């Protein structure tokens, strides 16, 4: 199991007990990798305390690097033949682990849980997420299943493929889809948070969506090229029209509003697309710096590693 946790002191112990209770009945050997993503509360201490009685490995980051980095670190430290990734806040029902394992034994390489809570979502979030998935799946060959998050089971093959991807901006939703493999979704309804509050407000979600879009799709750039092409074609046609009008009908070039409006319009479009270009440049810059996606401050291994964990 991989469990990313950021300020989850209130919920973590309960979640780990719930996972352990499920897994003890399902598999002979297991381990839980808790990644403390630079929490400012007692999360690390609670996870370390759990490591005394459960097969919990704690990977503590030097600061908050974000959920995507935390999952990558968890996958890096997980040693199982099969890995399930789950939130620390108790929103992901551990009951689903059994069904995921059953599907894995049937031969599926990846089993993802698909959120089924459209009623709870506000209209704005609903529209935003629809737009996001539409755009993501429009440009490329990727097929990212809507409303499927990080709650998923992965075969060792999938984990190794994910770990082999060298990018530093790790947009997991896109990476799961990119590596491929035989995947199947199962619906689930998220439970209420056991404690604490979500870190993903609208602003963070929009930032994540933009990272995803620019990391996995060149659609915005292609849009810029197409708009440029369309506008220059129009401008050329209009220019031709004015010349012909002047030559054949002798009508003088009238008023300046057209000039002002078109200058404003075209400079706006240009600025917009220079901005988009800049976003991609920023992405390239992030990658080219070659910094690691996270820094591990310490790793706490369970008190009885050999007893419960696969050798």
Query: Residues interacting with ligand UDP, by CB under 6 A?
Result: 4-6, 8, 37, 64, 66-67, 70, 87-89, 91, 198-200
Map residues 32-71 to x or -, x wherever contact with Mg ion holds by CB under 5 A: ----------------------------------------
112, 148 in Cβ contact below 8 A? yes
Task: Provide the minimum distance between the beta carbon of 303 and ligand UDP in the complex, in angstroms, as a whole number.
Answer: 24
Task: Provide the minimum distance between the beta carbon of 236 and Mg ion in the complex, in angstroms, as a whole number.
Answer: 53
Q: Which is nearer to ligand UDP, 199 or 270 (CB)?
A: 199
Q: Which is nearer to Mg ion, 114 or 269 (CB)?
A: 114
| Distance of alpha carbon 305 from the chain centroid | 31
133, 46 in Cβ contact below 8 A? no
| Residue closest to 89 by CA, chosen among 20, 15, 200 | 15
> Following DSSP, what letter does each residue of 207-252 receive, concatenated?
HHHHHHHHHH--HHHHHHHHHHHHHHHHHHHHHHHHHHIIIII-PP
The answer to the question of residue 91 lying near Mg ion (CB under 5 A) is yes
Q: Which is nearer to ligand UDP, 4 or 174 (CB)?
A: 4
Q: Which is nearer to ligand UDP, 127 or 261 (CB)?
A: 127
Query: Which of Mg ion, ligand UDP, none does residue 58 bind (CB under 5 to 8 Å by kind)?
Result: none
| Distance of alpha carbon 80 from the chain centroid | 23
How many CA within 13 A on the CB side of residue 192? Answer: 2
Task: Provide the minimum distance between the beta carbon of 128 and ligand UDP in the complex, in angstroms, as a whole number.
Answer: 14
> Following DSSP, what letter does each residue of 17-55 receive, concatenated?
HHHHHHHHHH-S---EEEEE-S-SSSHHHHHHHHTTTS-
Q: Rounded CA gap, 95 and 253, in Å?
A: 74
168, 287 in Cβ contact below 8 A? yes
Task: Provide the minimum distance between the beta carbon of 113 and Mg ion in the complex, in angstroms, as a whole number.
Answer: 13
Q: Rounded CA gap, 85 and 67, in Å?
A: 11
Q: Rounded CA gap, 85 and 4, in Å?
A: 8
The answer to the question of residue 89 lying near Mg ion (CB under 5 A) is yes
Residue carrying the six token digits 């035989």: 182
Query: Which of ligand UDP, Mg ion, none does residue 125 bind (CB under 5 to 8 Å by kind)?
Result: none
Task: Provide the minimum distance between the beta carbon of 67 and ligand UDP in the complex, in angstroms, as a whole number.
Answer: 4
Q: Which is nearer to ligand UDP, 109 or 150 (CB)?
A: 150
Task: Provide the minimum distance between the beta carbon of 103 and ligand UDP in the complex, in angstroms, as a whole number.
Answer: 23
Query: Which of ligand UDP, Mg ion, none does residue 147 bind (CB under 5 to 8 Å by kind)?
Result: none
Residue carrying the six token digits 């291994």: 301
| Residue closest to 32 by CA, chosen among 18, 294, 98 | 18
How many CA within 13 A on the CB side of residue 273? Answer: 17
Query: Which of ligand UDP, Mg ion, none does residue 6 bind (CB under 5 to 8 Å by kind)?
Result: ligand UDP
Q: Which is nearer to ligand UDP, 91 or 214 (CB)?
A: 91
The answer to the question of residue 211 lying near Mg ion (CB under 5 A) is no
Query: Which of ligand UDP, Mg ion, none does residue 68 bind (CB under 5 to 8 Å by kind)?
Result: none
Task: Provide the minimum distance between the beta carbon of 138 and ligand UDP in the complex, in angstroms, as a whole number.
Answer: 24
Contact region with Mg ion (CB under 5 A), list: 10-18, 81-89, 280-288, 289-297: 81-89
Q: Which is nearer to ligand UDP, 67 or 173 (CB)?
A: 67
Residues of this chain that interact with Mg ion (CB under 5 A) are 87, 89, 91
């Amino acid at each position: 199991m991989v469990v990313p946790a950021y300020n989850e002191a209130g919920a973590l112990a309960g979640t780990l007990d719930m996972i352990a209770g499920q897994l003890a009945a399902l598999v002979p050997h297991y381990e839980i990798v808790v990644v403390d993503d630079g929490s400012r509360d007692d999360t690390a201490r609670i996870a370390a305390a759990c490591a005394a009685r459960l097969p919990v490995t704690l990977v503590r980051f030097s600061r908050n690097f974000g959920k995507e980095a935390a999952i990558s670190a968890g996958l890096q430290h997980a040693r199982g033949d099969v890995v399930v990734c789950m939130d620390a806040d108790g929103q992901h029902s551990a009951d689903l682990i059994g069904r995921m394992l059953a599907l894995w034994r049937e031969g599926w390489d990846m089993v993802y849980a698909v959120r089924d809570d459209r009623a709870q979502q506000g209209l704005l979030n609903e529209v935003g997420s629809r737009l996001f998935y539409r755009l993501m799946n429009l440009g490329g060959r990727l097929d990212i299943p809507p409303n499927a998050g990080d709650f998923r089971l992965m075969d060792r093959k999938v984990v190794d493929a994910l770990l082999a991807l060298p990018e530093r901006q790790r947009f997991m939703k896109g990476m799961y889809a990119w590596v491929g493999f035989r995947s199947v979704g199962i619906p689930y309804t998220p439970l209420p948070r056991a404690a604490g509050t979500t870190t993903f407000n609208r602003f963070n979600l929009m930032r994540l969506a933009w990272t995803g879009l620019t990391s996995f799709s060149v659609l915005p750039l292609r849009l810029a090229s197409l708009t440029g092409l369309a506008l220059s074609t129009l401008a050329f046609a209009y220019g031709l029209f004015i010349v012909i009008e002047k030559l054949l009908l002798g009508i003088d070039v009238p008023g300046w509003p057209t000039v002002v409006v078109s200058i404003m319009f075209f400079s706006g479009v240009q600025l917009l697309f220079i901005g988009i270009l800049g976003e991609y440049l920023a992405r390239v810059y992030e990658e080219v710096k070659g910094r690691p996606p996270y820094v591990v401050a310490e790793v706490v291994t369970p008190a009885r590693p050999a007893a419960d964990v696969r050798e």
